[in-house]
């Protein structure tokens, strides 16, 4: 084995070691990337580092992150989000897992509105994690629901992943949006089914609202509370989503609308004051700094891992796989899944896809179907430890009692569910190809 590939393996081991002893994630990424990259190639490996970091901090789309973070914090500090979850839980009566189902719904809407996993997970985490834990939910289940729901925006259109794949694979954005709609909704339904199953098998992990508390609210009062509490945030989310889908605003402009809308909702609820506004701005700055620090320090790690031949090491580990086109697709899915443990989805897209695209083009495969398989696989990479970005983002805003191990434990079932959804789309290509064919895209 070449010396550089040995360094790549050692770099992964060093990252795990630093993470276990409690070093912050961003520092782990930066230290291991710089140290092992320098050991392999000296300073020449990092000549592109300034431009890569500049690209991160000036990325127009990433400007949506602090805006959506502000939106989530404002909804959380003004207690609008907590009221939203509570009243939906009451409306679902004695259904176990009712609040988790509400989180899935909110995750779908917020994820589609933002198109940025970091913004969605942070926003939903700020809104939901505290109330779920206070209601007696298992910490792992609560964390897993939030992380998984926050990643749904990467497959349900509009999605940044789909936009990027359309550019890489030469397909129209509209075609991929249409192809992703049914698989995205299917995945959401699988999440719902898992939560309902938990309510039957382990009811203590997803408790319903206590009967005594539900009895305090009459049907008329509940209907009025639903109208007063649920309708305004849902309208806000639909306005943000609609402005993106309708082409009125880009995700960044829509995020600014959402941030302003959260201020309006807090004002209408009578809870907006200077203290809340000050704390919201301060918390948004701190949380945004945490998110961008992770993104920035991921750059030296990604450069070092690629420069040391890490992705080649992953590919060669699988070797050749028989089976024609299906075997090649399985190999691609395995490769993307393993790379998702170590790299972010943008780098995965530019590392693996260009290698396999000529093969699929020559075989005559439906590229929209391939793109949806890739998108669902990349979505899974946000949940796979140790480098699942959804896990990092949630840990950054989670209460102190939520440990990293709780988050890892909670997402494992959802990783399995997403792989099951991926298998369904693989064996039933019509799930992805029917709608584009039906509307002529």
- At 379-418, the pLDDT tens digits run 888 888 776 778 877 887 788 778 888 888 889 999 999 9
pLDDT tops 70 at residue 298: yes
User: pLDDT at position 89, please?
Assistant: 67
Share of the chain above pLDDT 90, in %: 9
pLDDT, one tens digit per residue, over 71-86 is 877 876 777 766 766 7
pLDDT tops 60 at residue 314: no
pLDDT, one tens digit per residue, over 220-274 is 777 887 788 777 877 877 777 667 655 677 767 877 888 888 898 888 888 888 9
Rg (CA), the chain: 22
pLDDT tops 80 at residue 38: yes
pLDDT tops 70 at residue 109: no
pLDDT tops 80 at residue 291: no
**Contact criterion met (CB below 8 Å) for 296 and 344:** no
User: pLDDT at position 361, please?
Assistant: 74
- The mean per-residue pLDDT over the stretch 297-322 comes to 70
- 9 confidence band (pLDDT: 50, 70, 90): confident
Tokens 């790379």 locate to: 339
CA quadruple 422, 426, 427, 432: dihedral, nearest 10: 100
User: pLDDT at position 394, please?
Assistant: 84
User: pLDDT at position 419, please?
Assistant: 93
- 344 confidence band (pLDDT: 50, 70, 90): low
Phi and psi at 161, nearest 5°, equal -60, -45
pLDDT tops 90 at residue 149: no
User: pLDDT at position 428, please?
Assistant: 93
User: pLDDT at position 417, please?
Assistant: 94
- 315 confidence band (pLDDT: 50, 70, 90): low
Q: 205 by DSSP, 3-state: which? A: helix
358-395 per-residue burial string, b: 16 or more CB within 10 A, e: under 16:
eebeeeebbbbbbbbbbbbbbbbbbbbbbbbbbbbbbb
CA dist 160 → 154, 258, 315 (Å): 7, 18, 26
Residues 6+ apart with CB under 8 A from 215: none
Which residue has better confidence, 415 or 338? 415
- 194 confidence band (pLDDT: 50, 70, 90): very high
pTM: 0.69
User: pLDDT at position 426, please?
Assistant: 94
73-88 per-residue burial string, b: 16 or more CB within 10 A, e: under 16:
bbbbbbebbbbbbbbb
What DSSP designation does 21 have?
A: T
pLDDT tops 70 at residue 1: no
pLDDT tops 70 at residue 299: yes
- 350 confidence band (pLDDT: 50, 70, 90): low
**Contact criterion met (CB below 8 Å) for 266 and 272:** yes
Gap between the Cα atoms of 227 and 215, Å rounded: 19
pLDDT tops 60 at residue 317: no
Residues 6+ apart with CB under 8 A from 79: 269, 271
Gap between the Cα atoms of 422 and 282, Å rounded: 40
User: For 389-436, what is the HEC assignment?
Assistant: HHHHHHHHHCCCCCCHHHHHHHHHHHHHHHHHHHHHHHHCCHHHHHHH
Structure tokens at 385: 């430890």
User: pLDDT at position 412, please?
Assistant: 92
User: pLDDT at position 190, please?
Assistant: 95
Mean pLDDT (the chain) is 79
User: pLDDT at position 218, please?
Assistant: 66
**Contact criterion met (CB below 8 Å) for 396 and 287:** yes
Across 21-30, 174-183, 321-330, 425-434, least confident range: 321-330
pLDDT tops 70 at residue 61: no
- 174 confidence band (pLDDT: 50, 70, 90): confident
pLDDT tops 70 at residue 307: yes
pLDDT tops 70 at residue 118: no
């Amino acid at each position: 084995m070449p010396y550089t590939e040995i360094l790549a393996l050692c770099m992964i081991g060093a990252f795990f070691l630093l993470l276990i002893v409690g070093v912050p994630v961003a520092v782990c990424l930066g230290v291991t990337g710089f140290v092992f990259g320098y050991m392999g190639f000296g300073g020449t490996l990092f000549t592109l580092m300034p431009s890569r970091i500049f690209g991160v901090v000036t990325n127009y789309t990433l400007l949506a992150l602090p805006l959506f973070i502000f939106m989530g914090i404002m909804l959380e500090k003004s207690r609008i989000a907590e009221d939203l979850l509570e009243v939906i839980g009451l409306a679902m009566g004695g259904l176990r897992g009712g609040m988790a189902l509400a989180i899935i719904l909110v995750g779908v809407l917020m994820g589609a509105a933002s198109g940025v996993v970091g913004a969605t997970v942070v926003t939903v985490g700020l809104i939901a994690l505290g109330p779920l834990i206070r209601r007696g939910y298992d910490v792992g289940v609560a964390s897993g629901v939030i992380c998984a729901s926050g990643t749904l925006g990467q497959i349900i259109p509009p999605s940044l992943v789909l936009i990027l794949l359309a550019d890489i694979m030469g397909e129209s954005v509209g075609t991929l949006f249409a192809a992703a709609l049914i698989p995205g909704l299917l995945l959401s339904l699988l999440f719902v089914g898992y939560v309902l199953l938990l309510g039957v098998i382990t009811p203590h992990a997803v408790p319903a609202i206590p009967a005594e508390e539900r009895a305090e609210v009459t049907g008329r009062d509940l209907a009025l509370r639903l109208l007063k509490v649920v309708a305004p945030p849902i309208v806000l989310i639909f306005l943000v989503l609609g402005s993106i889908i309708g082409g009125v605003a880009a995700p960044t402009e829509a995020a600014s609308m959402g941030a302003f809308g959260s201020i309006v909702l807090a004002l209408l609820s009578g809870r907006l004051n200077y203290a809340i506004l000050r704390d919201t701005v301060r918390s948004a700055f701190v949380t945004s700094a945490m998110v961008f620090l992770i993104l920035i320090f991921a750059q030296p790690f990604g450069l070092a891992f690629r420069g040391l031949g890490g992705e080649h090491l992953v590919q060669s580990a699988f070797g050749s796989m028989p089976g024609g086109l299906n075997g090649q697709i399985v190999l691609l899915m395995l490769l993307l899944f393993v790379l998702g443990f170590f790299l972010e989805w943008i780098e995965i897209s530019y590392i693996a896809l260009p290698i396999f695209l000529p093969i699929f083009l020559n075989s005559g495969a439906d590229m929209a179907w391939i793109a949806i398989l890739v998108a669902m696989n990349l979505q899974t990479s946000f949940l796979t430890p140790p480098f699942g970005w959804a896990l990092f983002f949630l840990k950054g805003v989670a209460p102190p009692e939520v440990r990293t191990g709780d988050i890892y434990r909670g997402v494992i079932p959802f990783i399995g569910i997403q792989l099951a959804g991926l298998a369904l789309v693989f064996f039933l290509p019509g799930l992805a190809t029917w709608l584009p064919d039906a509307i002529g895209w």
